[in-house]
Amino acid sequence: MFDRITFDPKIMGGRACIRGMRIPVSVIVGQVAHGAKVEEILDEYPDLEREDVKQALEYAAWLTQEEVHLG
């Protein structure tokens, strides 16, 4: 489902990263949240591909589908 999202305890302490690189999903999502355009992110991280950014956002959206039971 998320073939570009990797988890490796030796890379960024096991945080969700893009294709085993030291680029955490949270950095990409944070940049988008602060108004960065995909092209700006790709310029800043030349090893990233457009599909990496797309999948990072899809992964973040998937994480928010978690159900919360109150009370």
Averaged pLDDT, groups of 10, the chain, 71 residues long: 95 96 97 97 97 97 83 71
Q: Rounded to an integer, what distance in angstroms lies between the CA atom of residue 63 and that of residue 71?
A: 22
Q: Give the model's pLDDT for residue 66.
A: 73
Q: Domain 5-63 is of which CATH architecture? A: Orthogonal Bundle (1.10)
Residue 15 contacts by C-beta under 8 Å, 6 or more apart in sequence? 7, 24, 25, 26
Q: Give the model's pLDDT for residue 1.
A: 86
Q: Rounded to an integer, what distance in angstroms lies between the CA atom of residue 49 and that of residue 71?
A: 43
Going from N- to C-terminal start, the domains of the chain cover 5-63
User: What tokens does 15 get?
Assistant: 């945080």
Give me the residues paired with residue 24 across strands: 17
Alpha-carbon torsion angle 32, 35, 41, 44, nearest 10: -130
